[in-house]
Structure 1
Amino acid sequence: MINECEEHGYYRDDFCPVCGEKGKFVMSDYEVEKMGRTLAAILRHGKFDLEMSPQGFVDMRDIVDTVRGINPRMKWLRPHHIEALALTDPKGRYQVVGHKVRATYGHTVKLDLHLPTDDVPDHLYYPVSPDAEEIIMETGIMPVDRAMVHLSGTYRDAVRAGSVRMDDVAVLDIDTKRCADAGFPIGKAARSVYLCDRVPPECLSLAEEPEDKGDSYRW
């Protein structure tokens, strides 16, 4: 659930993680899950055709009006519920600026996200099935079901991402500087998610599973 501490803001727990006080109730787990799916559909896939800026921002008031209009059971929804959901998302999937919100990754609609390209790691990772490994190494990585290529910050994050849709996962290593020099800069979208238009084959190599399972295996 989401609660709100008067001093430290929104949080997803029973008690404020900073001061330990029990805050004001905002949304139940069920409401968070239901509204989270709707928010992703609007911000990632353009559902309901709401006005969206070239960078993917949508007015939270428009989202509230639309959701309340199609679902009478959501008459309680207000912009601060959208803000609370976005700001407390554990994966950093949303960004709030003023009264507008956007998804940071996962889009199927083409946008100009203007993601930061500073401090991108020298190497990022991408999961593939062993059967597709050879052809991707030859042709490079292109977007498949999303508007941009999604890369992971660690080997383990790539394995976890690939395991959602593959039984066996191989991991490719992306030389990020070489990719940028080839005309495909990479931007940081979330904690361990990076985006680019495509990755040329000369930027790819087969990643080796790290022996040190510290930061590379964080969950």
Structure 2
Amino acid sequence: MLNYKRLSKVISHALRHEPEKYGIKLDSNGWAPIQTLIEGIKRQAPVFSAIEIEDITSAIQSSDKVRHEIKSGQIRATYGHSTKKKINKTIEMTGVPDHLFHGTSPDAWAIIKEEGLNPQSRQYVHMSNNAQVARKVGARKSKNPVVLQIDTILARKNSVQFSREKNGVWLSNAIPSFCIKEIAKN
């Protein structure tokens, strides 16, 4: 039986982090031919040397998170890119909540207070519309996570743009520090 969880991780690595290693060239929106992905995975991960498009589809559908999408023979990672090539995201002009949340560590919060919230090694800042989800994300970085609240109204007035992914994750290029505050711990 094929390990779909492991295959999903390989797909993510190929599309989010090192597409060139797999012989993939992403377009400006992060799309690549699915057949090119399959060939690259077969070369780079021999354990998957017999995979077919149905296996890619099954790995994506069995995942607990919406990390990839397939359309017209193309595939892309929906978010989380750390590639040098910037992936264009559709900007949300309506439907942006008044507040978004970001979980982080106390050390990172000390820097964010001064410099604002920046993507770091990713292409975009990742946020949630739910403080509890942000706390869980922050818990990956610290035993005592800090949950930040982003004032999106103020941010938008200062030319910050937001993009919402299908899985509910909100993205932005950067958030100025004056649009961010720490929320009280529950």
* TM-score of the two chains, using structure 2 as the length reference: 0.87
Aligned length: 182
Name the structure 2 match of 1:54.
Answer: 28
Matched, 1:36 2:40: no
Q: Give the secondary-structure state (helix, strand or coil) at the position aligned to 2:43.
A: helix
Aligned-pair RMSD on alpha carbons? 2.0
How do 1:60-139 and structure 2 match up within 5 A?
60-109=34-83, 110-114=86-90, 116-139=92-115
Letter of the structure 2 residue corresponding to residue 90 of structure 1: D
Counterpart CA distance in 2 for 1:57 and 1:50 is 10
How do 1:161-200 and structure 2 match up within 5 A?
161-200=137-176
Name the structure 2 match of 1:201.
Answer: 177
| Structure (1/2) with the larger strand percentage | 1
Instruction: Give structure 1 regions of 4+ aligned residues with deviation exceeding 4 angstroms.
Output: none
Counterpart CA distance in 2 for 1:134 and 1:82 is 41
Identify unmatched segments of 5+ residues in structure 1. Answer: 1-27, 211-219
Counterpart CA distance in 2 for 1:105 and 1:115 is 14
Distance 1:72 1:61, change over 3 A: same
Q: Give the secondary-structure state (helix, strand or coil) at the position aligned to 2:3.
A: helix
Deviation at 1:206, TM superposition (A): 1.9
Q: Percent identity?
A: 24
Counterpart CA distance in 2 for 1:154 and 1:106 is 19
Deviation at 1:126, TM superposition (A): 1.1
Identify unmatched segments of 5+ residues in structure 2. Answer: none
Distance 1:116 1:95, change over 3 A: farther
